[in-house]
């Protein structure tokens, strides 16, 4: 303690402090200043590469229906100008696109996703480069931390439950179309579906459902997914009265008829 | 062989005689009828069924008091269930089925099963009986003096007739107060902002992009706040008739000039209450612009003033006239100009319900 106090008053002390200060400033400048431009350049370069790679993938896999410049083909595929990266990621990463055959609607098929996550990003980058559109969601709205499950449930029942069922198990629409189940769907895919409104589904933009409200809805869905069948009994698909009626009209009435026949028969 | 006048004119009387009476099928004795051991076995089985039933009843009581009502467990083929309810169901089924199966088995194996035919009596009574009854009735009528004392007859009839009223009137009156103007009006009025349900945010016209759908309630009637301000009953009434669906369509695909005039640059607002039985019509398909009711599949075409294109609904959904206020938010320009929701008898004749208010 005393030696330190003595050293502080030494004439060399000033020199040492000056030297330290200069070294620190120079190192910090060298460390921080030049790095920024190089990463920007690198990012721009990779983005340009992504767009180019994405264009090649697009021409090979998507252009038949969506046109060589994604301008759309009448009666076959819609224009992709302005659909954004979120839409591309949703459609391709859930296996809906490329569509195996024309049908009333594309169905989720995650076993048959044809592309790596990297390739999907490249295609998304290409489509996003054509015209501005919704971007992929920020990770902070997908971690479900601090999400309000009750508020999510209220928003879900007002905006989603009429088509997707209050238990998230999906339901029928008109002329063969249907709202798919939301159970077991990736958080990001649910978010992107709300943001882009795929197929018959309407768009829920950030003014209608804020990103926080979207996160709440996803948290609510994950909550009921993990909660399982809290009330007990066989769920029979959780699709409402249709499953119950099928059970009663086949197994229930069948058992009743068998019993009635048994009661009416004479014992031999 | 009937000789009444209303029998068909041409009846081939001989056909009736062509079929000989088949009589009873031959009686086949059951095993329990001829074999003493078989009958003892059957009796034992019946006793077992009844005993099972008794055991089921006791097990039900035990389960009711012993098992934790929240106990969960997994049963193969069904999944996770509440074991308390499962135990109650199984033991009660045992208790009831045991009685039923025992009774049926007893009747089928041990009770006499010889078939016996009992011939019908002639339907008419003998003339002496008829005369005796008529005389007794006439005697009773005269001895009651009702033929002379008509006031008793009249007052007794009145008492019995009025006696039914205390039973009938509360039922009819218990249907609730007679509706007045509330069937014709909603809370929407000129200048009231359209609010997003349930967040309660106002809506800028620019935020309603094509393809998006907004579920809307009137300003002051949204979410929890409405329940606190107006109470649960009023808030639920509001929810049931004020709910509105808001979409933006390309104005060039809108077929009705009135629909375009009542909207803002293709943004149109319609009542969400189905004109069939009042379910919320909210399944909007943005690629076909069809609006589907989940209850009975009534489908409305949003590009054609919400006309019915499929299903049991009879009338188009009522449109809410909207405009934009000074700050750019969407507001109602008026209430609905027709009653929302399903038909009712006085719908076209408000005077019948509203009286002087009309």
Domain identity same for B105 and B185: no
Report helix, strand or coil for B245. Answer: strand
Among A129-143, B10-24, B34-48, B55-69, which is the least confidently predicted range?
B10-24
Q: Is the CB of residue B30 less than 8 Å away from at least one CB of chain A?
A: yes
Checking if the pLDDT of A230 tops 80, the result is no
What is the rounded distance in angstroms from the CA atom of residue A37 to the CA atom of residue A60?
A: 35
Average pLDDT in chain B: 88
* Residue where a domain terminates, one of B87, B109, B131: B109
Find chain A residues with C-beta within 8 A of B247's C-beta: 202
B243 neighbors B280 (Cβ within 8 angstroms)? yes
Checking if the pLDDT of B88 tops 90, the result is yes
How many angstroms separate the Cα of A159 from the Cα of each of B45, B166, B196, B289, B302?
Answer: 60, 48, 10, 17, 18
Phi then psi dihedrals of residue B284, to 5 deg: -95, 125
Residues A11-30: tens digit of each pLDDT: 677 777 778 877 777 666 66
Residues B211-227: tens digit of each pLDDT: 889 999 999 999 888 88
Tell the burial category of A60 from Cβ atoms under 10 Å away from its Cβ (0-12, 13-18, 19+): exposed
Q: Which of A200, A232, A266 sits opposite B285 (nearest CB)?
A: A200
- The kind and range of the H/E element at B324 are strand B322-324
What is the predicted pLDDT for the residue at B183? 87
A with B: how many residue pairs have Cβ under 8 Å apart?
A: 101
Domain identity same for B50 and B194: no
Residue B294 neighbours by CB under 8 Å, 6+ apart: A162, A171, B279, B280, B282, B283
Q: Report B:274-333 residues touching A (Cβ under 8 A).
A: 280, 282-288, 290, 292, 294, 297, 299, 310
Classify the phi-psi angles of A165: left when phi > 0, otherwise alpha if psi is within -120 to 50, otherwise beta.
left
**How many domains does chain B divide into?**
2
What is the rounded distance in angstroms from the CA atom of residue B127 to the CA atom of residue A255?
A: 53
* Residue where a domain terminates, one of B82, B109, B136: B109
Chain B residue nearest residue A199, CA to CA? B287
Domain identity same for B257 and B348: yes
Q: Report B:230-269 residues touching A (Cβ under 8 A).
A: 247
Query: What is the pLDDT averaged over residues B108-113?
Result: 87
Residues A36-95: tens digit of each pLDDT: 445 555 666 678 888 888 898 988 888 888 988 888 888 888 889 888 889 999 999 898
User: Which among A72, A160, A166, A173 is the top mutation candidate for probing chain B, defined by the most B β-carbons within 10 Å of its own β-carbon?
Assistant: A173
Domain identity same for B66 and B211: no
The better pLDDT of the pair B6, A63 is held by: A63
pLDDT band at A229 (very low <50, low <70, confident <90, very high): low
Query: What is the pLDDT averaged over residues A244-256?
Result: 92
Phi then psi dihedrals of residue B320, to 5 deg: -95, 120
**If we measure between CA atoms, which residue out of B343, B295, B294, B297 comes closest to residue B318?**
B343
Q: Report B:194-223 residues touching A (Cβ under 8 A).
A: 196-199, 201, 203-204, 207, 209, 211-215, 223
Checking if the pLDDT of A233 tops 80, the result is no
Residue B7 covered by a domain? no
Q: Which of B30, B79, B108 sits opposite A229 (nearest CB)?
A: B79
* Residue where a domain terminates, one of B109, B134, B156: B109
Is the reported ipTM for this assembly greater than 0.85? no
Residue B135 covered by a domain? no
Chain B residue nearest residue A203, CA to CA? B212
Residue B216 covered by a domain? yes
Checking if the pLDDT of B17 tops 60, the result is yes
Instruction: State both tokens at A244.
Output: 């119950």
pLDDT band at B16 (very low <50, low <70, confident <90, very high): low
The Cα of A203 is separated from the nearest Cα of chain B by a number of Å equal to: 4
- The stretches of A33-93 forming alpha helices (DSSP H) are 35-61, 63-66, 84-93
Residue B24 covered by a domain? no
Helices (H) and strands (E) in chain B, counts: 10, 13
What is the rounded distance in angstroms from the CA atom of residue B196 to the CA atom of residue A213?
A: 12
Query: What is the pLDDT averaged over residues B99-113?
Result: 91
Among A33-37, A171-175, A189-193, B260-264, which is the least confidently predicted range?
A33-37
Residue B161 covered by a domain? no
- The kind and range of the H/E element at A239 are none
Q: Do B292 and A228 touch (CB under 8 A)?
A: no
**If we measure between CA atoms, which residue out of B264, B252, B273, B274 comes closest to residue B321?**
B264
CA B126, distance to chain mean position in Å, is: 51
**If we measure between CA atoms, which residue out of A142, A144, A151 comes closest to residue A189?**
A142
User: Which among B212, B245, B280, B328 is the top mutation candidate for probing chain A, defined by the most A β-carbons within 10 Å of its own β-carbon?
Assistant: B212
Residues B126-143: tens digit of each pLDDT: 899 999 999 999 999 888
Checking if the pLDDT of B241 tops 80, the result is yes
Domain identity same for B96 and B214: no
Query: What is the pLDDT averaged over residues B328-335?
Result: 92
CATH code of residue B290: 2.102.10.10
What is the predicted pLDDT for the residue at A166? 85
Domain identity same for B201 and B345: yes
Tell the burial category of B217 from Cβ atoms under 10 Å away from its Cβ (0-12, 13-18, 19+): buried
Q: Which of B214, B284, B290 sits opposite A208 (nearest CB)?
A: B214
Query: What is the pLDDT averaged over residues B41-53?
Result: 96
What is the predicted pLDDT for the residue at A28? 67
Domain identity same for B351 and B223: yes
What is the predicted pLDDT for the residue at B13? 53
What is the predicted pLDDT for the residue at A39? 53
The Cα of B286 is separated from the nearest Cα of chain A by a number of Å equal to: 5
The Cα of B345 is separated from the nearest Cα of chain A by a number of Å equal to: 29
Checking if the pLDDT of B2 tops 50, the result is no
Q: Do B288 and A201 touch (CB under 8 A)?
A: no
Enclosing domain of residue B278: 181-357
pLDDT band at A191 (very low <50, low <70, confident <90, very high): very high
Q: What is the largest CA-CA distance in chain B?
A: 100
What is the rounded distance in angstroms from the CA atom of residue B265 to the CA atom of residue A21?
A: 65
Structural domains present in chain A: 37-130 (1.10.760.10), 139-229 (1.10.760.10)
What is the rounded distance in angstroms from the CA atom of residue A127 to the CA atom of residue A134?
A: 11
Domain identity same for B97 and B238: no
Residues A97-140: tens digit of each pLDDT: 888 888 888 888 888 887 888 889 899 999 988 888 888 888 88
Tell the burial category of B182 from Cβ atoms under 10 Å away from its Cβ (0-12, 13-18, 19+): exposed
Dihedral (CA of B67, B72, B74, B80) sign:
positive
Checking if the pLDDT of B355 tops 90, the result is no
What is the rounded distance in angstroms from the CA atom of residue A87 to the CA atom of residue A93?
A: 10
Domain identity same for B98 and B185: no
Q: Do A197 and B212 touch (CB under 8 A)?
A: yes
Residues B177-217: tens digit of each pLDDT: 888 888 888 999 998 999 998 888 999 998 998 888 999 99
The Cα of B196 is separated from the nearest Cα of chain A by a number of Å equal to: 7
Q: Do A163 and B310 touch (CB under 8 A)?
A: no
Residue B1 covered by a domain? no
Residue B162 covered by a domain? no
Find chain B residues with C-beta within 8 A of A163's C-beta: 282-283
Q: Do A203 and B85 touch (CB under 8 A)?
A: no
Query: What is the pLDDT averaged over residues A237-265?
Result: 87
Helix A117-130 × helix A35-61 angle, to 10°: 90
Residues A150-163: tens digit of each pLDDT: 999 999 999 999 89
Domain identity same for B89 and B203: no
Residue B159 covered by a domain? no
Q: Is the CB of residue B80 less than 8 Å away from at least one CB of chain A?
A: yes
């Amino acid at each position: 303690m005393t030696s330190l106090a003595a050293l502080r008053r030494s004439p060399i002390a000033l020199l040492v402090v000056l030297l330290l200060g200069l070294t620190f400033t120079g190192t910090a400048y060298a460390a921080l200043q030049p790095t920024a431009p190089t990463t920007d350049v690198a990012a721009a370069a990779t983005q340009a590469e992504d767009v180019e790679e994405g264009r090649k993938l697009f021409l090979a896999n998507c252009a038949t229906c969506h046109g060589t410049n994604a301008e759309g083909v009448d009666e076959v595929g819609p224009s992709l100008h302005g659909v954004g990266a979120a839409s591309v990621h949703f459609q391709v990463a859930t296996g809906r696109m490329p569509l195996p055959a024309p049908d009333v609607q594309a169905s989720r098929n995650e076993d048959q996703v044809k592309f790596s996550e990297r390739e999907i990003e490249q295609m998304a980058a290409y489509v996003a480069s054509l015209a501005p559109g919704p971007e992929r969601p920020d990770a902070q709205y997908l971690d479900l931390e601090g999400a309000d499950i009750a508020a999510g449930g209220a928003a879900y029942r007002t905006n989603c439950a009429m088509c997707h069922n209050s238990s998230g198990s999906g339901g029928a629409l008109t002329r063969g179309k249907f709202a798919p189940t939301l159970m077991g769907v990736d958080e990001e895919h649910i978010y992107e579906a709300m943001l882009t409104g795929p197929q018959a589904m309407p768009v829920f933009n950030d003014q209608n459902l804020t990103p926080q409200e979207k996160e709440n809805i996803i948290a609510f869905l994950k909550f009921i997914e993990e909660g399982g069948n809290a009330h007990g009994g066989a769920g029979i698909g959780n699709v409402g009265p249709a499953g119950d009626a099928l059970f009663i009209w086949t197994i229930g009435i069948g058992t009743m008829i068998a019993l009635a026949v048994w009661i009416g028969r004479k014992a031999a | 062989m009937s000789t009444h006048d209303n029998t068909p004119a041409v009846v081939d009387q001989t056909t009736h005689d062509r079929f000989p009476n088949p009589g009873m099928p031959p009686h086949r004795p059951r095993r329990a009828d001829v074999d003493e051991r078989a009958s003892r076995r059957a009796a034992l089985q019946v006793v077992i069924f009844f005993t099972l039933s008794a055991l089921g009843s006791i097990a039900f009581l035990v389960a009711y008091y012993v098992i934790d009502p929240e106990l969960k467990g997994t049963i193969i083929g069904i999944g996770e269930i509440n074991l308390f309810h499962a135990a109650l169901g199984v033991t009660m089924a045992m208790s009831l089925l045991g009685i039923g199966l025992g009774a049926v088995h007893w009747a089928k194996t041990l009770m006499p099963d010889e078939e016996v035919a009992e011939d019908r009596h002639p339907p008419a009574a003998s003339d002496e009986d008829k005369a005796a009854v008529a005389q007794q009735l006439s005697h009773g009528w005269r001895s009651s003096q009702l033929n002379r004392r008509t006031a008793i007859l009249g007052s007794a009839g009145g008492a019995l007739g009025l006696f039914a009223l205390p039973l009938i009137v509360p039922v009819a009156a218990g249907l609730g107060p007679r509706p007045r103007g509330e069937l014709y009006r909603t809370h929407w009025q000129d200048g009231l902002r359209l609010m997003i349900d349930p967040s309660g945010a106002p809506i800028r016209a620019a935020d309603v992009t094509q393809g998006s759908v907004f579920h809307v309630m009137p300003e002051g009637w949204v979410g929890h706040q409405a329940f606190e301000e107006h109470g649960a009953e009023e808030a639920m009434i509001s929810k049931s008739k004020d709910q509105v669906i808001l979409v933006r369509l390309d104005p060039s695909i809108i077929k009705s000039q009135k629909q375009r005039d009542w909207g803002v640059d293709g943004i149109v607002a319609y009542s969400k209450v189905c004109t069939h039985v009042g379910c919320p019509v909210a399944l909007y398909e943005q690629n076909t612009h069809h609006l589907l009711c989940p209850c009975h599949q009534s489908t409305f075409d949003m590009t054609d003033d919400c006309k019915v294109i499929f299903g049991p609904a009879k009338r188009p959904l009522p449109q809410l006239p909207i405009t934009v206020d000074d700050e750019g938010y969407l507001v109602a320009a008026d209430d609905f100009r027709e009653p929302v929701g399903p038909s009712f008898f006085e719908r076209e004749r408000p005077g019948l319900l509203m009286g002087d208010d009309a």
